A and B are shown apart, each in its own frame.
Chain A
Amino acid sequence: GIQVEQSPPDLILQEGANSTLRCNFSDSVNNLQWFHQNPWGQLINLFYIPSGTKQNGRLSATTVATERYSLLYISSSQTTDSGVYFCAAYSGGGADGLTFGKGTHLIIQP
């Protein structure tokens, strides 16, 4: 199966700091996506980013498919950014589900 690896596993920052989360993935991965899971378990789709760069407010994401990695940038962190960030992707063929990484647990302290 496909491999999706995330780093760092944990990150503690002060409010206002910037952060970069990394996702490495194996061959035959497509439809790479980033999600945020809040402390109550709700999983929200942040970006669909198979390649290139996208921005949404203080968040942006870049995927370099040829080098098999994606980065999620969070600028001017707020306490509400706390939670777990997952990257996930579908494998190349067939009908299947998303394969998720183990996530980056982000804590933003006031």
Chain B
Amino acid sequence: DAGVTQSPTHLIKTRGQHVTLRCSPISGHKSVSWYQQVLGQGPQFIFQYYEKEERGRGNFPDRFSARQFPNYSSELNVNALLLGDSALYLCASSLARNTIYFGEGSWLTVV
């Protein structure tokens, strides 16, 4: 079975632009969560979705939004990009809290 897949793997954007990151969970997993990891830090929780509904939100501004589709894939959108949004964005899928699997991430550079 395929693991958690994310796209794109690397991208460069200019300040003020918008970005969309995509994630496909492991087959059968209905929960998807997003994390931001800046260099030298641990991942920080952004959103969790379960059955297409937002179940949790971290301490991120409204420029960050997400959604989950009927096939359980998910998108993370970030508007009005800032230099500080440069980070590795990780998507995770899970069946339960004790089984969480991360994708390889999307490396975003804002210039």
Contacts and interface: CB of A to CB of B under 8 A. Distances in A.
Contacts of A42: 102, 104-105
Interface string B48-83: 101000011010000000000000000000000000
Nearest to A86: B42
Given A41-B105, A102-B41, A97 B33 contact: yes
A103 interface: yes
A64 B104 CA distance: 31
Contact of B50 (A44, A95, A102): A95
Contacts of A35: 102
B44 A96 contact: no
A33 interface: yes
Given A48-B99, A90-B97, A43 B90 contact: yes
A90 B102 CA distance: 16
A61 interface: no
Interface residues of B, number: 26
A98 B88 CA distance: 16
Nearest to A31: B97
Contact of B58 (A43, A90, A97): A97
Interface of A: 31, 33, 35, 40-45, 48, 86, 88, 90, 94-103
Interface of B: 33, 35, 37, 41-48, 50, 55-56, 58, 88, 90, 97-102, 104-105, 107
Q: Which 10 A-B pairs have the closest CB atoms?
A: A97-B45, A100-B42, A95-B55, A43-B102, A48-B98, A96-B56, A95-B56, A31-B97, A41-B105, A100-B43
